[in-house]
Amino acid sequence: MVPTKVTSTRLIDRLERAGYVRRLPSPDDRRKVIVELIGKPAGLDEVMAPARRKLGEILQSYSPDQLETLFDYFARAAVAYQEAAAALRASDA
């Protein structure tokens, strides 16, 4: 099994060569780098269009009350994930 760090490095190498990201030195820790998005992957909208259409069909099958519940869940879940990511970053420091 290939360690995750090596796999991530290879993925970032490929994205960097393709022109989608660049590596920047971390201002806080010289051992780290920040991976910054610099371009939108070509054809992403076209690739995602079928999935977006299908999701639209799925959402149309819900009542307004059900949609309200779903959107409430997604909003609250997004905050929970953001807080968890911030906690992970803080524990890395």
Over the chain (93 residues), the average pLDDT of each successive run of 10 is 64 85 89 85 80 95 97 95 89 71
Same domain, 63 and 37: no
Domain count, the chain: 2
| β-bridge mates for residue 35, sequence order | 23
Same domain, 5 and 32: yes
d(CA 75, CA 80): 9
Question: What phi, psi does 41 have (nearest 5°)?
Answer: -55, 130
Same domain, 55 and 91: yes
Same domain, 51 and 93: yes
pLDDT score at 8: 80
Same domain, 58 and 90: yes
